Structure 1
Amino acid sequence: MHKLLASTYKEFLLLTRDIGGIAILFIMPVVLIITITIIQDSSFKAIGENKIPILLVNNDNGLVSETIINSLTESNTFQVIQKNEEEKAKELVFKGDYQLAIIIPEKLSTDLEKKVNQNVESILAKFGLEEEVGVKPKEKILNKEVRLYFDPATQQTFKSSVKNGIDKMISKIETQSIYNAFQEQISEDDTEAVFETDNFISFKEIVPKQGDKEMIPNSVQHNIPAWTLFAIFFIIVPLSINIVKEKNQGTFVRLRTNPVSYATVLGGKTIVYLAVCLIQFVLMLLIGVFLFPKMGLPTLDVSERLPNLFIVAFFAGLAAIGLGLLLGTVAKTQEQSAPFGATFVVILAALGGVWVPVFIMPKFMQLLSNISPMNWGLNAFYDVFLRNAGFVEIIPEITLLLSFFIITALISIIYNEKKNAV
């Protein structure tokens, strides 16, 4: 125990003498999490609160186009700017001045009315409800096409959202026109309602509750766990550099002249750097609870979650340290450990769902994400933050994180012993 405490004290002194390293370990994660959260929260507000200016060329000037314009305006998502020329609107969008232009075709309202009346008359005639005065040839009415121009830099998710919204809007207009046509044909009194045109099916989101309080996720609850985990795993860079530096300076050679095992040396590093990981975690929580509300961001709710959050952070820190110990043991120079460690953390973050949600990845990448310790830690954090899970529910994830630490630490010790035995 005395040797472990001495090794721990040595690591503490080395770390505290490197003021620049400490600044990087604590200040950079803070800057990262504040920047990412502000950007993501602003993107949510851009969709939910700020109106996106779009161009609209109305070649119809009828009831249908009026309904489309009113629906777009009332959605509180778009600021509709009307233009007269399609080519001008297309040019502005393709130059990147606007994200979207909607072109409403000519005679959309009149042709839709004619088409619906033709269909209704055909149906009523089959049931004998339409008087046949003579056989009239049906006028050929071509299908109409609402054209959409998107800025080439627009993301696919925005395109899909807009197209689905407009498709739903057009379908509602067509359905309403069919109801009105039937009502005009079979109702003697125009004021009498034959059909109820209100939506019969609606959607309601049911959110989890804690007591009487609804638990509505926000950008802070998503970003704090993800980027805290990213910062924790970045500990492998200074840790691996520390090990490589001691090997190159001959520190390990001097330690081997004393009865100190490599496991004891790694134990001292584990204790010190685990403390650093937990301090990072506490700092992130304090930012979410106290700083973010003053910046106009949602408050991080940690009520009744702190014990489980610290358990997840503890085991996530162990997994990160295990990886750092292995990298520092295997690497021969700082030029090997630093770039590889930084790049590998980014790869693990991408696989783990920090950058992109796992569920939208290709199937092969979804399977591959299961081997990323960041994925285990992120799922455990989300279980506690967003799913209100207890200790029992996070046991599988923290078991995987602990196993990862034990395996990487054992490989480091065995590799070092075999290397020095040769």
Structure 2
Amino acid sequence: MHKLWASTYKEFLLLTRDIGGLAVLFLMPILLVITITTIQDGTFKIIKETKIPVLWVDQDKGEISKTIYDGLANSQTLDLIENASEADAKDLVFKGDYQLAIIIPENLSKDLTQKVDENVTGIMAKFGLEEDSTIAAKTPLEQKEVRLYFDPATQFAFKSSIKNGIDQMIAKVETQSIYKAFQEQISDDPTEVIFEKEPFISFKEIVPEGNEEELIPNSTQHNIPAWTLFAIFFIILPLSINMVKEKNQGTFVRLRTNPISYATVLGGKTLVYLFVSLLQFGLMLLIGVYLFPSIGLPKLDVSGKIPLLFVVAFFAGLAAIGLGLLLGTIAKSQEQSAPFGATFVVILAALGGVWVPVFAMPSFMQTLSKLSPMNWGLEAFYGVFLRNVGFGELLPEISLLFLFFVATAAIAIVYNERKNAV
């Protein structure tokens, strides 16, 4: 035990003298989580509070175009700016002055009303509900297109949301036109209600509950666990670099002359860097709880979750340390350990769902993401923060993280013994 504590103290001195390593471990994750959370929260506020200016060209000037205009104007996300010319609107959008132009075609109201009336009349005649049951020939009508001009730099998500919203609105207008036509054919009393126009099916989002209150996730609860985990795994950089320095400076050679095993040396490093990872995590929680509200960001809710959160952070830290021990054992120079370690952490983060949600990845990448320890840690953190799970539900993820640490540390010990035995 004395040897382990001596190794731990030696590692502590090495770490505290490395100002650059301490900056990577503490300053980098703070700046990262504040920046990312501010950007994402600002995006959410823009979507909710800011109207996007959109050019509106109405070539129809009828009841249908007015209904569509009112629906878009009432959406509280679009600021419709009327423009007389489609060509001008197109040029303004493609120059980047506006993100979108909506063009309503000519005779949309007239042709839609005529088409619906002919269809309704045909149905009524077919069932013998018309006095003249002869089905009249339908007038050939050109299909109408609501043209949308998007700025080429517009993101795909915005395009999809706008197109889906307009498509639903037009479908609603067509349905109401059909109801209205049937109403006029069946009843002479315009005030009589035959068809209910209110939607029968609606949507309601159900979120987890805690203490009889709905737990609505915010940008802080998504970003704190993701980027804290990313920062914890960056431990492998100073850890592996210090191990390479010790080998190059002859420290490991001197250690081999003492009656101390390589496992004890690694044990000292594990204790120091595990403490650092837990300190990192605690600092990030304090920032989320106290700093974020003071700069206008959502407060991190950790009530009743702190013990489970630190359990996950403990095992995530072990997994990161195991990877750092393995890299530091195998690498022969800082030029090998530093670039490889940084790149490998980014790859693990990308696979684990820190950069892009796993469900948005191709099926092959979704399968591959299950091999990333960051995915295990992120799922465990999300389970505590967002899904309100207990310790039992976390066992699969934390077991994988612990086994990953055991496997990487064991490989590092075996590799070191075989290398020194040659």
- State TM-score, norm by structure 2: 0.98
What is the match of residue 409 of structure 1? 409
What is the match of residue 128 of structure 1? 128
Structure 1 segment 9-408 matched on structure 2, within 5 A: 9-132=9-132, 136-408=136-408
User: 1:378-421 CA deviation, whole Å, 9 max, x = no partner?
Assistant: 00000000010111110110000000000000000000110011
Structure 1 residues 50-59 or 323-332, which shifts more?
Answer: 50-59
The amino acid across from 2:118 in the alignment is Q
CA distance in 2, matches of 1:78, 1:122: 39
Tell me by how many angstroms 1:219 deviates: 0.8
CA distance in 2, matches of 1:311, 1:223: 19
Which secondary structure state, in structure 2, belongs to the residue aligned with residue 302 of structure 1?
coil
Describe the shift of the 1:20–1:127 C-alpha distance in structure 2 as closer, same or farther (beyond 3 A): same
Asked whether the equivalents of residues 46 and 52 of structure 1 are also in contact (C-alpha less than 8 Å), the reply is no
The amino acid across from 2:147 in the alignment is R
User: 1:160-209 CA deviation, whole Å, 9 max, x = no partner?
Assistant: 11111111000000000000111111111122122111111111111111
User: 1:325-369 CA deviation, whole Å, 9 max, x = no partner?
Assistant: 101111111001000100000000000000000011000000000
Which secondary structure state, in structure 2, belongs to the residue aligned with residue 356 of structure 1?
coil
CA distance in 2, matches of 1:50, 1:135: 52
CA distance in 2, matches of 1:90, 1:406: 61
Which secondary structure state, in structure 2, belongs to the residue aligned with residue 259 of structure 1?
coil
CA distance in 2, matches of 1:309, 1:114: 64
Tell me by how many angstroms 1:370 deviates: 0.4
Structure 2, unpaired ranges of 5+: none
Asked whether the equivalents of residues 125 and 134 of structure 2 are also in contact (C-alpha less than 8 Å), the reply is no
CA distance in 1, matches of 2:137, 2:13: 95
Asked whether the equivalents of residues 125 and 133 of structure 2 are also in contact (C-alpha less than 8 Å), the reply is no
Tell me by how many angstroms 1:100 deviates: 1.4
CA distance in 1, matches of 2:135, 2:369: 67
Tell me by how many angstroms 1:136 deviates: 4.9
Describe the shift of the 1:275–1:183 C-alpha distance in structure 2 as closer, same or farther (beyond 3 A): same
Structure 1 residues 268-277 or 82-91, which shifts more?
Answer: 82-91
Tell me by how many angstroms 1:236 deviates: 0.5
Does residue 1:7 correspond to 2:33, yes or no?
Answer: no
Structure 1 residues 186-195 or 322-331, which shifts more?
Answer: 186-195
Tell me by how many angstroms 1:21 deviates: 2.2
Which secondary structure state, in structure 2, belongs to the residue aligned with residue 79 of structure 1?
strand
Structure 1 residues 37-46 or 126-135, which shifts more?
Answer: 126-135
Q: CA RMSD in A?
A: 1.2
Asked whether the equivalents of residues 100 and 148 of structure 1 are also in contact (C-alpha less than 8 Å), the reply is yes
Which secondary structure state, in structure 2, belongs to the residue aligned with residue 66 of structure 1?
helix
Asked whether the equivalents of residues 125 and 135 of structure 2 are also in contact (C-alpha less than 8 Å), the reply is no
CA distance in 1, matches of 2:163, 2:143: 18
Asked whether the equivalents of residues 89 and 101 of structure 2 are also in contact (C-alpha less than 8 Å), the reply is yes
The amino acid across from 1:126 in the alignment is K
Asked whether the equivalents of residues 353 and 375 of structure 1 are also in contact (C-alpha less than 8 Å), the reply is yes
CA distance in 2, matches of 1:217, 1:12: 38
User: 1:199-249 CA deviation, whole Å, 9 max, x = no partner?
Assistant: 111111111111310011111110000000000001111111010111011
Structure 1 residues 1-10 or 12-21, which shifts more?
Answer: 12-21
Describe the shift of the 1:232–1:124 C-alpha distance in structure 2 as closer, same or farther (beyond 3 A): same
Asked whether the equivalents of residues 352 and 378 of structure 1 are also in contact (C-alpha less than 8 Å), the reply is yes
Describe the shift of the 1:133–1:300 C-alpha distance in structure 2 as closer, same or farther (beyond 3 A): closer
CA distance in 2, matches of 1:291, 1:134: 76
Asked whether the equivalents of residues 57 and 103 of structure 2 are also in contact (C-alpha less than 8 Å), the reply is yes
The amino acid across from 1:305 in the alignment is K
